[in-house]
Structures are given as structure tokens and as C-alpha cells.
Amino acid sequence: MSLVLYEAEGAIGFLTINRPEALNALNADVLDALDKALDQVDQNVIRCLIVTGSGEKSFVAGADIAQMSTLTKAEAEAFSKKGNDVFRRLETFPIPSIAAVNGFALGGGCELAMACDMRICSDNAMFGQPEVGLGITPGFGGTQRLERLVSPGMAKQMVLAARNIKADEALRIGLVNAVYPQEELMAAAKKLAGAIAANAPIAVRASKQAMNEGIDLPMDEAVVVEEKCFGSCFETHDQKEGMGAFLEKRKEKTFTNS
Ligand code: CO8
């Protein structure tokens, strides 16, 4: 059985971290499998990805502590880079992603969720960056993305005090967009993915790019990124279709990603 399952259902792609016997902990093979699974995504067909974990207990319980325990300094840095590279690929992937967090999202699991564009979770979800208790720092983006997603003070509290938080607190601090009963999580993820998939893919992708690139730029430069992305949508079939449908008072729209 593959360590990361990839399935397509219409315009939605499902990436499932599949190592339930270790609560889906990320070892080097899982990271490689995630990278390969992204290769399988047909970018002409798929319009939204849902990332989740196998089983009902855990999204991802972190990087594999057993595998990390004997690393040298150089090996640890390389392992951190391996995770960062694949998470960055997911973050900058043209297709938007939703993390459907179905349980523990600790360490590398919280970091994987944060590399997705949006996060929703089940009511049994638990988030945290427990690394300092293990004698290490977060290494798959946790010291960087958490501070960008929640307040710097809360991010530092989560990383430095290494206190896990439950779903309701994750919602309160803005780490997740919504909390659902476990049995409703995937339906909610599919509904959100469906809403994204119904829109013009070129516009969705350009909007994601503008938001991703602009957030770290001074505003004068960020608005230029937006201007380019905005302009790139024009003269496309989908821009003519979207605006045409409005002007013709037509509800049905056919976006073709062209
Ligand atoms: N790594 C390896 N194995 C794991 C991990 C993990 N992160 N998490 C769980 N497992 C394994 C357990 O060892 C156990 O295996 P076995 O049955 O063979 O003993 C199995 O999964 C089930 O786990 P538990 O029996 O512990 O299940 P519980 O329900 O009792 O507890 C917890 C669940 C609370 C999630 C607990 O498993 C736990 O605390 N796990 C570790 C959580 C953690 O600390 N995660 C952060 C890891 S560090 C990290 O992610 C750093 C990322 C950056 C790396 C940079 C590279 C240099």
C-alpha cells in the first residue's frame, strides 16, 4: 500500500497520508511519496486538492521521531530541507489545497496543514508544535508559517511552550476556518472544494499566486503582483464566459481553464 494515496473524484484530488500504524508520521519515504503524488495530479482536470490522513485518529502526528533520533547535524538539516521542499511545492502548487485535519496535527502534521491554502478540522483535532520538548526546533516550516497565520505572540506561545491546542482554540486563533463533527469533515471539505472548483481555474490560480506572493512584499510591490495576475485573466475564454454570463443574465457557466 502506498504511503500517500492519490485519488481523483471529478475535479477534486484527494491526497491521503497513509501510515496509520504510526499515526501517519512523516518519514523520508512518506515525504517522497507526497512529492510523487503531486506529480500524479492532472492540472488540466483537478481544480482543488484535499489533504487528509488515514484513519479517524490522526491527520499526521509529526515527523518520524524514531527516524530523526539518530540524525547528525548535517542529516537533520537535509531532512528539514526535504520536508520544506515538498511542503513548499504544495504551498505554491497551482491547484489550491484544503487540509481536512481529522485528528492529531502535531509538529510536521501542523506544518503540513499550514502548507495548505486552507484548514478545516474535525472536533477531535489537536494542533501543536511539540518540538522544543523533544530538544529540536520545528523544521518543516513551523517557525515561519505559524507566525504568518496567527498572531506572533500566539505562534511563539505554541512553539516555545509546546502546548497542544484543541479544535475550538485552533478556530479561535484563526488556524482553522471551521470545525465539524468527525463524520461530517470530508463532506464539508468536498463542499468547499466544490465551491472552489466551480470557479474559473485561471482566475483561482492567479488569485492564489497573487495572495501567496504579495503577502511577503511591501504593499507597493504587492499591488504590482496583483496587477499582473489580474491582467493575465483577460482575453481568456473563461473571462469572456464569466463576464458574458453576468451580462446575459445567464446562471450556467462553462469554465474550460483556457
Ligand atoms: N514519530 C514516530 N512514530 C510515531 C509518532 C511520530 N511522530 N507519533 C506516533 N507514533 C507511533 C507511536 O510510536 C506508536 O507506535 P507503536 O505502536 O509502534 O508504539 C503509534 O504511532 C501509536 O502512537 P501512540 O501509541 O503514542 O498513540 P497515543 O494515542 O497514545 O498518542 C500521540 C498519540 C499523542 C499523538 C503520541 O503518539 C505522540 O505524542 N506522538 C508524537 C507527537 C510529536 O511529538 N510530534 C512531533 C514530532 S517532531 C516533528 O514533527 C518535527 C518536524 C520537523 C522535522 C525537521 C527535521 C529535522
Chain segment 70-109, per-residue pLDDT in tens: 999 999 999 999 999 999 999 999 999 999 999 999 999 9
Q: Kindly tell me if the per-residue pLDDT of 187 is higher than 90.
A: yes
4-197 CATH pick, 3.90.226.10, 1.10.1740.10, 3.40.50.280, 3.30.360.10: 3.90.226.10
- With a 6 A CB cut-off, is 162 part of the ligand 1 pocket? no
Classify domain 201-247 by CATH architecture.
Answer: Orthogonal Bundle (1.10)
Question: What atom in ligand 1 is closest to the CA of residue 138?
Answer: 53
- With a 6 A CB cut-off, is 130 part of the ligand 1 pocket? yes
Q: Kindly tell me if the per-residue pLDDT of 229 is higher than 90.
A: yes
- With a 6 A CB cut-off, is 64 part of the ligand 1 pocket? yes
What is the average pLDDT across 13-20? 98
Listed in sequence order, the residues at least 6 apart from 83 whose beta carbon sits closer than 8 Å to its beta carbon are 26, 31, 63, 108, 111, 139, 140, 141
- With a 6 A CB cut-off, is 107 part of the ligand 1 pocket? yes
- Mean of pLDDT over the chain: 98
Question: What atom in ligand 1 is closest to the CA of residue 129?
Answer: 46
- Does residue 147 have an active-site annotation? no
Q: Kindly tell me if the per-residue pLDDT of 1 is higher than 90.
A: no
Q: Kindly tell me if the per-residue pLDDT of 182 is higher than 90.
A: yes
Q: Kindly tell me if the per-residue pLDDT of 127 is higher than 90.
A: yes
Q: Where are the domains of the chain?
A: 4-197, 201-247
User: How far is the C-alpha of 251 from the C-alpha of 153, rounded, in Å?
Assistant: 46
pTM summary value: 0.98
- Does residue 56 have an active-site annotation? no
What is the average pLDDT across 137-146? 98
Question: What confidence score (pLDDT) does residue 150 get?
Answer: 98
Question: What confidence score (pLDDT) does residue 198 get?
Answer: 97
pLDDT band at 179 (very low <50, low <70, confident <90, very high): very high
- With a 6 A CB cut-off, is 106 part of the ligand 1 pocket? yes
Percent of the chain with pLDDT over 70: 100
Question: What atom in ligand 1 is closest to the CA of residue 77?
Answer: 57
Residues of 99-114 as b/e, b for ≥16 C-beta within 10 angstroms? bbbbbbbbbbbbbbbb
Question: What confidence score (pLDDT) does residue 210 get?
Answer: 98
Question: What is the CA(77)–ligand 1 centre distance, in A?
Answer: 20
201-247 shares the fold of 4-197? no
Q: Kindly tell me if the per-residue pLDDT of 41 is higher than 90.
A: yes
- With a 6 A CB cut-off, is 22 part of the ligand 1 pocket? yes
Question: What is the CA(132)–ligand 1 centre distance, in A?
Answer: 14
Which one has a higher pLDDT value, 1 or 40? 40
